[in-house]
Amino acid sequence: MGHLQREEQKRIWLNLELAKKPFHCIEYIVVHEMVHLLERNHNDRFVALMDHFLREWKQLKQELNRLPVSHREWDY
């Protein structure tokens, strides 16, 4: 997944392997990392912010976790 270095840097790092994931799962990852700019920990505030910004995030997280590591589905 992505990785937020030091909170004061306000920088998000994303693994290039994410390009192989379905777009709607990438959206979850980006929102997840952006919420970390507001809340560093996976606490109740983090969950509330995720619920606010991406209502279906729990389902997307489950889908992403079920995908193989090197999932590929290219739609052109």
User: pLDDT, tens digit, for every residue of 7-31?
Assistant: 466 788 888 888 888 888 999 999 9
User: pLDDT, tens digit, for every residue of 28-37?
Assistant: 999 999 999 9
Kindly state the DSSP code that residue 70 receives in the 8-state scheme.
Answer: T
| Average confidence score pLDDT of the chain | 84
Q: How confident is the model at residue 73 (pLDDT cuts 50, 70, 90)?
A: low
Domain spans of the chain?
Answer: 23-70
Residue written as tokens 């270095």? 5
User: pLDDT, tens digit, for every residue of 56-70?
Assistant: 999 999 999 898 876
Q: What is the pLDDT of residue 20?
A: 84
Contacts 24+ apart (CB under 8 A), 44-53: none
Token pair recorded at residue 43: 């606490």
